[in-house]
Each structure stands twice: as C-alpha cells, then as structure tokens.
C-alpha cells in the first residue's frame, strides 16, 4: 500500500520537535555568549529568586589623630526584590488536515512552526529588556552620545572597582542615537538572536542596538552581574507530556496529532528570567542634547 507523501508519522513529530528546540536553544545561547557568557541557571518551576543591592555609609572622617578610634565605614548587602520563576511562555499552534493536504507538510507545519519560534524568541527578548529597563537603580548623564556612555562606564568602574573578574561591559542603545552620532561613518554590525551588536566600540566590550531602549537613554552593566534563570523542562513533568528538550532543558516542545479535530498541534513551553545580581549594577545614562545645554556651561566644561 502506498503511503500518501503528506502522511505524518511519529518520526516526523519527534524530528520536528527536536529541530524547534535546537533552534531556540542555540539562538539563546548565542545571545548570552555575545553578552559575555552570562551564567545560565536551570531551576524548578516556582523557585523564588532574590536580588540584592549594596548600601554604603561613609565614615565621618578618614583621618584621625594618633591613638584615636577610627570611625566606621558601613557596607551592607541588603535584599532588594524577590521574583518567582514560572512558565512565562505557553504557546500552541494548530494546523488543520485541510491545510496540510492543500499546502503540504513543509509549508503548512514547518513554516508555521518557524513563526511560532519567532514569537517565543520575541517574548524572550522582551523579558530581557524589561529586566534592563525596569530593574536598574543607578543613573547618570552626559552631554551627547559618547559622553553619556563614558559617564556610564565611570559609574560601572566605581560600582565594581573592588570586584575581581566582572566580565565584559555591555551597553544597550537605541539605534537612532547611535546612527545620529555616527553620521555617515561605517560600522561592522553582527547579529545574535535577532539583535544587532558591535564589539569593542567606544571602550565598551559589546554594544547592542535595540528599539526596546528608549531614545536618549543608554543602559549599561557588566556580564557577571546578569544571571539567566530558567525553568528546566527536563525531568518528570517534561516526560509526562512527551516533550523534546536539549541538554540545557531551556524549552520543551511537543507535536501531536489530534484525530478528533483532524488537526496537528505544536505546543511549546518555557520560563525564564534575566536578572541582575545587583540592581545598582545596572546604570541608565541619559543623553543630553548638546543644543539644550547653555553656552556658558559648555564653555566652562571645555575650559574656555
């Protein structure tokens, strides 16, 4: 008996799921490596994650007379916010029998799966930039694009001056701000996880370009300050739903036939949080328009 070429077998289901998982995991890993090998932490769904901030109270004086008691400088690491790791993404797509018969398996299922993958990646990126724009507590500014970045680097240097091995410096900027600064100059841009970035630019190890950062702002941190927590989709729960996962367990995907509806479902699930170890270690630098700065201030700053 000849089998219709559009017939979907169990082997097709598994292969399709594995391909989806590998594409997503590879893209996330590429992004985290581009950021400077951000640490990945697989955890159970429902895990509570605590972030911290550093508070410093300087001594009244650092110079005392011989024999006098040296005043105390107080440095404390205090709890800031707590987050619960949950399944942030549960995605399902249905392809009908008629669509598969009309367009063929590759067009009807594989193509639409790629669209579902794009949605999952878009959601993960949104979570990334939510973490950067909402959780940072340190601010600074500079008159113009490059001075704003320099001010941010100065803040980071002060925050982490007593910490060894902080990793790479990372800046996230709005493309409009960068290209306004560049004018007609040419740059070499790379891509990871759909994000464009530059390496070793303006004394920053990695500069990401994204409209998720408001124009007029630069968000900066160091790679060792960022942690990527995610629900480990391996284990009993994943096996119960016959989900395909890779060695990281970053996302689980399954495909199944639904005979009673003459359809074919793609189901993906995952949960992640990109959180700073220190919220004060994320610096937001405001780009002040030089044209709005009084000329007297500009002359004073330039030494004239």
What domains are defined for the chain? 10-52+77-296 (3.90.1690)
Residue 97 has pLDDT above 60, yes or no: yes
Residue 10 has pLDDT above 50, yes or no: no
Taking Cα atoms as reference points, which of 115, 102, 107, 98 lies closest to residue 266?
115
H helical segments located in 35-110 = 97-103, 105
| Percentage of the chain lying above the pLDDT 70 cut | 90
| Distance separating alpha carbons of residues 113 and 102, to the nearest angstrom | 17
The band of 301, judged by pLDDT with boundaries at 50, 70 and 90, is: very low
Most confident of the following: 21-35, 130-144, 216-230, 286-300: 216-230
Burial class of 281 by CB neighbour count within 10 A (0 to 12, 13 to 18, 19+): buried
The per-residue pLDDT for 121 is 84
Which two structure tokens, joined as six digits, stand for 18?
A: 């594995």
Residue 135 has pLDDT above 60, yes or no: yes
Whole-prediction pTM: 0.72
Residue 221 has pLDDT above 80, yes or no: yes
The per-residue pLDDT for 15 is 66
- pLDDT, one tens digit per residue, over 247-290 is 888 899 988 888 899 988 889 999 888 888 888 899 999 999 88
Could you tell me the sign of the dihedral formed by the alpha carbons of 144, 145, 146, 151, in that order? positive
Residue 293 has pLDDT above 80, yes or no: no
Mean pLDDT rounded to a whole number for the chain: 83
Average pLDDT, integer, range 207-211: 91
| Percentage of the chain lying above the pLDDT 90 cut | 26
The band of 125, judged by pLDDT with boundaries at 50, 70 and 90, is: confident
Average pLDDT, integer, range 230-235: 89
Residue 22 has pLDDT above 70, yes or no: yes
| Distance separating alpha carbons of residues 220 and 287, to the nearest angstrom | 13
């Amino acid at each position: 008996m000849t089998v219709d070429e559009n017939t979907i077998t169990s082997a097709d289901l598994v292969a399709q799921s594995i391909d989806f998982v590998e594409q997503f995991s590879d893209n996330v890993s590429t992004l985290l490596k581009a950021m400077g090998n951000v640490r990945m932490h697989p955890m159970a769904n429902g895990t509570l994650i605590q972030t911290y901030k550093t508070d410093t109270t300087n001594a009244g004086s650092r110079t005392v007379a011989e024999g006098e008691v040296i005043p105390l400088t107080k440095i404390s690491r205090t709890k800031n916010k707590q987050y619960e790791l949950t399944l942030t993404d549960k995605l399902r797509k249905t392809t009908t029998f008629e669509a598969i018969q009309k367009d063929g398996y590759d067009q009807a299922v594989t193509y639409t799966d790629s669209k579902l993958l794009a949605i999952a990646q878009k959601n993960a990126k949104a979570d990334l930039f939510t973490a950067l724009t909402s959780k940072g507590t340190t601010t600074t500014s500079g008159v113009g694009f490059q001075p704003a970045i320099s001010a941010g680097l100065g803040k980071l240097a002060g925050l982490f001056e007593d910490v060894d091995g902080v990793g790479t410096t990372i800046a996230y900027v709005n493309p409009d701000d960068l290209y306004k600064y560049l004018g007609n100059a040419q740059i070499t841009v790379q891509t990871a996880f759909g994000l464009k970035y530059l390496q070793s630019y303006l004394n920053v190890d990695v500069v990401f370009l994204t409209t998720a950062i408001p124009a007029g702002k630069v968000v900066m941190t160091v790679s060792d300050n960022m942690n990527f927590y995610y629900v480990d989709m391996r284990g009993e729960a994943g096996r119960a739903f016959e989900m395909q996962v890779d060695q990281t367990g970053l996302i689980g995907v399954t495909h199944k036939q639904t005979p009673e509806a003459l359809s074919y479902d793609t189901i993906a699930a995952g949960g992640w949080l990109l959180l700073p170890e220190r919220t004060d270690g994320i610096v937001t630098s405001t780009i002040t328009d030089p044209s709005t700065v009084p000329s007297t201030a500009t002359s004073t700053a330039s030494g004239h």
